[in-house]
Amino acid sequence: MLAFPSTYSVGITSLGYQVVWATLARRADVDVRRLFTDQGDPPHRRCDLFGLSLSWELDGPVLLDLLEQQRIPIWASQRGDEDPIVFGGGPVLTANPEPLAPFLDAVLLGDGELLLPAFIDALQSCRQACRDERLAALAQVPGVYVPALYRPDYGSDGNLLAVTPVSGDLPTSLAKQTWQGNTLSHSTVVTPESAWPSIHMVEVVRSCPELCRFCLASYLTLPFRTPSLDDGLIPAVEAGLAVTRRLGLLGASVTQHPQFADLLQWLDQDRFADTRVSVSSVRAATVTPELGRILARRGSRSLTIAIESGSARMREVVNKKLATEEIFAAARYAKEGGLTGLKLYGMAGLPTEEEADIEATASLLLELKKATPGLRLSLGVSTFVPKAHTPFQWQGVRPEAEKRLKLLAKRLRPKGVELRPESYGWSVIQALLSRSDRRLAPVIAAARGQNESLGGWKRAYRAVLAGEVERPAGMPPPPPWEEVIHATWSAERVLPWDHLKGPLSKAVLADHARRSLVEPVPSATGEDRAPGGSGAQSKTAVRPR
């Protein structure tokens, strides 16, 4: 059974979920059924495997509801030989699986193209063995993490000391698996019932070369990978256009594919006149009039760019490598190309951010509106949430972000700029799930039924701290709420995910953090003015070593 922690329309739109399902469905030795929160395929008489694809922290607690629905014990320690092996994968679990570890038998760390075949082969080789023997066999597969075979140790002060294997034949640390093939993924299911109806999605790039200091999608998925145009992208596009005329080009920074301009020119042919093409977020500095023209000709109405902040100082801090003049140029080129809207994404509560930086974001949006009349502007803004395996993993959520989201609304909405803020409360819960260790598991279990609100999570947390909720044997209570969510941690602190290797070492991440937060960041009066003024910022040459 392969589950997704949301409705069918949302789950079937997930390219990662589609690829995992198709990979399993192609095997003659696997009978895979799908399960969503609102529907599912007919269940097996006997289920040997129960898998979950997880791409967002806030979906994690849904795992427990799905397990109970299938009458599977939620705690891994309570499952017997007749119960299925419960496994999970996706970026959230690859980054930090520890909060959900007591509910999972196995975690697949990294890219499914490599992991899934090896995982299934290992299980098939010991299918008749007892549960413990099957888990021991899985633990020998590179990239497969079996939490029950790794023990967290805590000091008398409650701090995590280490997560170590329970036996000497297990690796002390595990590395994510990275797919290096010439092709990436594309849709295997096209349906009008998806959240993006009848769309064929093609992964244009994987990871991002920019390395913004907060970005999980960049740091965790390194190296930056691009399929070739002729052998990878064009065949994938043509396969989808045989069944639909709607195409989505996906990736953290699709326009940085070295042949993206060639792909656009290919899609500009008259034979694609009835094809609607949309792209995910693009790097502002790569927007050209040609990009705007071809997308408008192919049915797109807007373009999406991430600016993170209207403050040039803050963009330096997060390593955005984006000049104010490039943001204005992107807006101008979008309008000149025939697009009618520009969606921008930013953050509040970034490390070292001051209220003046938020004012700079508001001023930038208002100046953009004045500079490109008729172009519909919208700003999606979220609260900074620390992510594992990024340079800002040691930073906490800043409480003042809530007030700064309200400040943006006060400045922008009366002036006709659409503001789409993400809930500060949900960001706090997201940080709780992204930053915790196994001691959060009883809280997740206790929060069921009240996990739709920040207050519900706080009540569950207090109940576990007070000993009102039973914890697994030997598991101490979680640390104080403030310490997990809002505290800035020292670089020497043992992190819940230290035994899981990301693409870059902890020392390298700490160096990136130092260069962002400790070394002086150049700043000049008026640097955030519109291009043409005396304070226009020149493009930074600061890049990761």
Helix 355-371 vs helix 324-337: crossing angle, to nearest 10: 30
Question: Parallel, antiparallel, or unpaired for β 302-308 and 341-348?
Answer: parallel
Residue 326 belongs to a domain: yes
User: Which pLDDT does position 529 carry in this prediction?
Assistant: 37
Same domain, 423 and 386: yes
3-state SS class at 236? helix
Per-residue pLDDT of 161-217, as tens digits, reads 999 999 999 999 999 999 988 889 999 999 999 999 999 999 999 999 999 999 999
- pLDDT exceeding 90 applies to what percent of the chain? 89
Residue 529 belongs to a domain: no
Same domain, 336 and 359: yes
Q: In the Cβ-directed half-sphere of 531, how many Cα atoms lie within 13 Å?
A: 15
Residue 192 belongs to a domain: no
Residue 246 belongs to a domain: yes
Same domain, 72 and 214: no
Same domain, 135 and 227: no
Per-residue pLDDT of 119-143, as tens digits, reads 999 999 999 999 999 999 999 999 9
CA distances from 169 to 120, 139, 185, 339 (A): 21, 10, 35, 59
CA distances from 425 to 118, 313, 451, 458, 472 (A): 40, 27, 12, 11, 28
Contact 499, 145 (CB under 8 A): no
Contact 210, 320 (CB under 8 A): yes
Q: Where are the alpha helices (DSSP H) in 298-451?
A: 312-317, 324-337, 355-371, 401-412, 424-435, 441-447
* Residue-wise burial string across 246-279, b where 16 or more C-beta atoms lie within 10 A, e elsewhere: bbbbbbbbbbbbebbeebbeebeeeebeebbbbb
3-state SS class at 52? strand
Q: Which of 436, 306, 321, 399 is nearest to 361 (CA)?
A: 306
**Domain containing 394 — which CATH number?**
3.20.20.70
Residue 517 belongs to a domain: no
Average pLDDT over residues 45-65: 92
Same domain, 227 and 282: yes
Residue that is last in its domain, among 399, 434, 469:
434
Kindly list the strands in the beta sheet with 376-383, ordered across the sheet, starting from the edge strand earlier in the chain: 302-308, 341-348, 376-383, 418-421
Same domain, 9 and 53: yes
pTM for the whole thing? Answer: 0.92
- Structural domain including 452 reads 435-501
Same domain, 357 and 481: no
Assigned token pair, 142: 């590179």
Contact 306, 361 (CB under 8 A): no
Same domain, 289 and 368: yes
Same domain, 8 and 25: yes
Assigned token pair, 19: 């690829």
Same domain, 168 and 213: no
User: Which pLDDT does position 535 carry in this prediction?
Assistant: 33
Contact 485, 428 (CB under 8 A): yes
Average pLDDT over residues 94-101: 97
User: Which pLDDT does position 545 carry in this prediction?
Assistant: 27
Same domain, 451 and 314: no
Assigned token pair, 481: 């709420």
Residue 541 belongs to a domain: no
Residues β-bridged to residue 88: 52, 107
Q: How far apart are CA 1 and CA 50, in angstroms?
A: 5
Average pLDDT over residues 136-151: 97
Assigned token pair, 407: 């400040």
